[in-house]
Structure 1
Amino acid sequence: MTAGLESLRQRHVLTLPTVPAAVRVARETAEQVLAEWHIGPHHPSVGPALLILAELVTNGVRHAAPLSPQLTVVYAARRDGLTLAVHDRHPYLPTLYGATVGSGDGGLATVMELTLGLGGTAGVLPDADGRGKTVRVCLPL
């Protein structure tokens, strides 16, 4: 689930129930973790990162809850980058590149617009058993 994230300099993992309040908790935790890592709220990547995280957790709550009672959020950083990852146990693998606002995947379109606008990358990593996935976004710092 966290392949490639273990080696990053800073790492925090949060498991939440797949309920609407998870969005607020994930965002507030991100703000605290980033502050502990000395990544200030005025850094140009922080605002977009918080919105991206909120969209990813919201998608998990809306779409994965029937098959995934929990979400796992991973916050990770190195000197020049920030990674946010949201894992659930729903088998559907969303398309990130090519997501458009008018097609019902507006949240993912927003995620991709922000990610690419900052020069970041995103990906969907399926679980080995095919019954879940991690959506990961990497942003430059």
Structure 2
Amino acid sequence: MIPAPHTLPYRHVLTLPTGPGAVRLARETAEQALAEWGIGAHHPAVGPALLILSELVTNSVRHAAEVSPQTTVIYAAGPECLVFAVHDRHPRRPRLYGADGAGPGGLATVVELTHGLGGTAVVRGDADGRGKSVWITLPL
């Protein structure tokens, strides 16, 4: 069982404007945090993790910017896993899987990369129903 992000020894939270430059800043912050945590750029999970993160932040910029002026990215890691989430205040929750439950939905690249690494992807709605987070957990 993978531990909850708040129990992992390494954590960082970044809140940024939902607009131009958000993807670059989220990715650069991830690269810096991972390096500080001893997870090198050549680790097999890092490249796909950065692509997944970029896709999630891009989705927030494209689909949520009008109602969510800020996006929050949560980064966490421990010896066995890397966890990150992208949160915005748009109420629409994206589908991870197609209508039949068998294949990818709107986040096909995210799901394919995540599962290919043996990880998990989950969409969690905010308690007030006015936002959501997409959580990614990848084994290291």
Q: TM-score, normalized by length of structure 2?
A: 0.91
**Number of residue pairs matched?**
133
Matched ranges for 1:1-141 at <5 A? 4-98=4-98, 100=104, 105=106, 108-141=107-140
Matches of 2:20 and 2:139 in 1, distance apart?
Answer: 29
Matches of 1:9 and 1:80 in 2, distance apart?
Answer: 11
Q: CA deviation at 1:78?
A: 1.2
Q: TM-score, normalized by length of structure 1?
A: 0.91
**Consecutive unaligned residues in structure 2, runs of 5 or more:** none
Name the SS of the counterpart of 2:19 in structure 1: coil
Matches of 1:121 and 1:20 in 2, distance apart?
Answer: 28
**Consecutive unaligned residues in structure 1, runs of 5 or more:** none
* Partner AA of 1:35 in structure 2: A
Matches of 1:24 and 1:9 in 2, distance apart?
Answer: 25
The answer to whether the 8 A contact 1:20-1:58 is kept is no
When the two chains are superposed, the root-mean-square deviation of aligned CA atoms in Å is 1.2
